[in-house]
Structure 1
Amino acid sequence: MDKKDIYLYVKSIKGISSITLGKIIEEVGSIEEILKLNEKDIYNLKNISLNIKENLVKYIRCLNLDEIKEELDNNSIRYICIEDEEYPKNLKNIYNPPLLLFYKGDLSIINNNLNIAMVGSRKPTSYGIYCAEHISYELSEKNINIISGIAFGIDSCCHRGCMRGKGKTIAVLASPLDNVRPSNNRIVANEILEDGGLILSEYNLGVPVTRGNFPQRNRIISGLSDGVVVVEAAEKSGALITADLALDQGKNVFAIPGNINSKMSRGCHKIIKEGAKLIENIEDILNEYEKFDFINKTSIKDDIKDLSNESLKVIHTIKEKGILQINEICDNTGMEIKIVNSIINELLLKDLVIEMNNKMYSVN
């Protein structure tokens, strides 16, 4: 039996959460050793409730793994355990990581790109909707993935904004993958998959959806990410729980300021006062991730083959140094401003660079 199948088997026993399973593995040594436990061994387990011990005794030998796997396969759902090489690297290092993940879509996008989580109110203002769609789209154009919780409001706006760009979007559910909540957002879930994105959950088919699932889901949203952007949130909001979790996990937290008279701005202003980075544009985010390469390699490779050596030098300079003004490009390349201006105009026409605020340029 594959290791991930053992995780699936044991996690299918009623009451076995990731925390509980982690405790048992720590005591017995490995996931494989659990299947070797007899009734006496199970009742001797430490720090495990009697109810869970009884469930282990009752079901440890009688679950039908083939039936469990067939049901997942019939729903086009795949699964991965924490010991698999493909398991998301960022998620392994958080407190209480999900030991088993169920997913649809392309899992590889998580480990191949920068991942920014964007969260916010389910009842956003028109300003919040604009910020969510605009920021997520611009980050996506930099080939950055956007992670959110596929809820109404800001979450859905962030997913859709990302799908307009070059990046991929990742939706983390608080429910099994065959039971998207809210149900109206099944359309968004399908759009994400059609766009080459990913939806995932730690909950197997048939697991009931409770209020406690949502804060548990938030630890995965922040855990997968390299940073969290709070777009718009009330003073008491699930989005702020995600931000707090991100801080606990050592992630960057960003917040978009809003109208001081709006209730939906109070959460963002609160965490800005507490140290979250105020952002006005994507440059405020990108500056924190200089080690990442934001260039879209696939599109550039096709488009630069006919460029002159001078144009290539300008592109590589911007790529290496980050967002630059014309005079900074001249300083770094040793080229005259007249030549650089001409090259920049050519690159803008080819969509190989983009012009930002204050006549600054970045690789597209």
Structure 2
Amino acid sequence: MENVLLYFSIKYSGDWDQIYNALDTKEKITHKDLDEISNKVDCNFITILNPLYPNYLKNTHKPPFVIFYKGDLSLISNHNKTIALVGGDEVNEYGIKSTQTFMKELNEEGTVFSTIENIGVNNEVLDNGLKNNYKLIKIVEESMKDYLKKTLDIPERKNLLAITEIYESNNNIVNLMGDYANRMLCGISKAILFIQFKERDIIKKLFSFSINEGKEVFAVPDSIYSKNATNKLIKDGAKLVENAKDILNQI
């Protein structure tokens, strides 16, 4: 059955609805295709039927049927200690300092950090985490096949995990990758901290998704004269935080 999930996951490029429909309608697969499917995958993966697949993730909205990964899979089992740090495409000195300060304080409590691979704040989260050897889960906003090509010469390391539910993309799935990454981030994270972003950033979609999923949502405040939109998130329901203790006391 795991090979069936793998087959449909690759055939439909991780499209959850199409995979579900194929399973529901008992779409036919030839024995040859089923036998050969695992040979087409050049990375590690776990299916929703695998004992290593976290139980908490099974209870989320549209849990991934297959997770393709590179790195330290043990990190995904620490749901209660996993906090997402995210922001917009631009980051200034205040955003960098906020990121570094929160990560340092949270790391002292054994936090696993998660974020979506992107420029700006998210990239600062990744760079700071790698530099300090913090525990990091990176949601890849591209296919695992493309990610592996990009990181071919970078060895796996302890405390770092890259994951996605898409092995190989097609034209139909490209526009959905952002939504898939948001769903994965919410699924694996106990709470989400918004650090800095502007009104035009699409990070607001993640905020709406987080609220709908019932996640603990926090935001770092900024001056009322700044263009940082986290203040608006606080008005919309995010909890204002000034230090790591504010987060840890509420999750």
Q: 1:17 to 1:215 in 2, by over 3 A?
A: closer
How far apart are residue 249 of structure 1 and its match? Answer: 1.3
Asked if 1:220 is matched to 2:184, the reply is yes
Q: Report what 2:63 is aligned to.
A: 97
The one of 197, 217, 227 equivalent to 2:160 is 197
**Is the 2:78–2:112 Cα contact (8 Å) retained in structure 1?**
no
Asked if 1:158 is matched to 2:125, the reply is yes
Q: Report what 1:69 is aligned to.
A: 38
Mapped to 2, the partners of 1:196 and 1:67 lie a distance apart of 32
What one-letter code is carried by the residue in structure 2 that aligns with 1:19? Answer: D
Mapped to 2, the partners of 1:216 and 1:198 lie a distance apart of 17
TM-score by length of 2: 0.87
How far apart are residue 180 of structure 1 and its match? Answer: 3.3
Mapped to 2, the partners of 1:197 and 1:247 lie a distance apart of 27
Q: 1:194 to 1:23 in 2, by over 3 A?
A: same
Alignment size in residue pairs: 248
Mapped to 2, the partners of 1:24 and 1:65 lie a distance apart of 14
How far apart are residue 124 of structure 1 and its match? Answer: 1.1
Q: Report what 2:18 is aligned to.
A: 20
Q: 1:85 to 1:134 in 2, by over 3 A?
A: same
Report the 3-state secondary structure (helix = DSSP H, G, I; strand = E; otherwise coil) of the residue aligned with 2:207. Answer: helix
**Is the 1:150–1:173 Cα contact (8 Å) retained in structure 2?**
yes
Mapped to 2, the partners of 1:10 and 1:100 lie a distance apart of 10
Q: Report what 1:109 is aligned to.
A: 75
How far apart are residue 270 of structure 1 and its match? Answer: 1.2
Mapped to 2, the partners of 1:99 and 1:281 lie a distance apart of 36
Q: Report what 2:231 is aligned to.
A: 269
Query: Which structure carries more relative contact order (alpha carbon 8 Å, separation 6+)?
Result: 2
Report the 3-state secondary structure (helix = DSSP H, G, I; strand = E; otherwise coil) of the residue aligned with 1:228. Answer: strand
* Deviations, residues 57-93 of structure 1 (Å, cap 9, x unaligned): xxx32764555433423xxx11111222221333222
Report the 3-state secondary structure (helix = DSSP H, G, I; strand = E; otherwise coil) of the residue aligned with 1:198. Answer: strand
TM-score by length of 1: 0.62
Q: Report what 1:293 is aligned to.
A: none
Q: 1:198 to 1:273 in 2, by over 3 A?
A: same
Identity of matched residues, %: 27
- Backbone CA RMSD of aligned residues: 2.6
Higher helix share: 1
What one-letter code is carried by the residue in structure 2 that aligns with 1:177? Answer: M
Mapped to 1, the partners of 2:58 and 2:240 lie a distance apart of 28
How far apart are residue 11 of structure 1 and its match? Answer: 2.2
What one-letter code is carried by the residue in structure 1 that aligns with 2:50? Answer: D
**Is the 1:137–1:161 Cα contact (8 Å) retained in structure 2?**
no
Asked if 1:149 is matched to 2:116, the reply is yes
1:162-241, aligned counterparts within 5 Å? 162-165=129-132, 167-180=134-147, 186=151, 190=154, 193-205=156-168, 207=170, 210-241=174-205
**Is the 2:12–2:18 Cα contact (8 Å) retained in structure 1?**
no
Asked if 1:132 is matched to 2:60, the reply is no
Larger Rg: 1
How far apart are residue 260 of structure 1 and its match? Answer: 2.2
**Is the 1:120–1:230 Cα contact (8 Å) retained in structure 2?**
yes
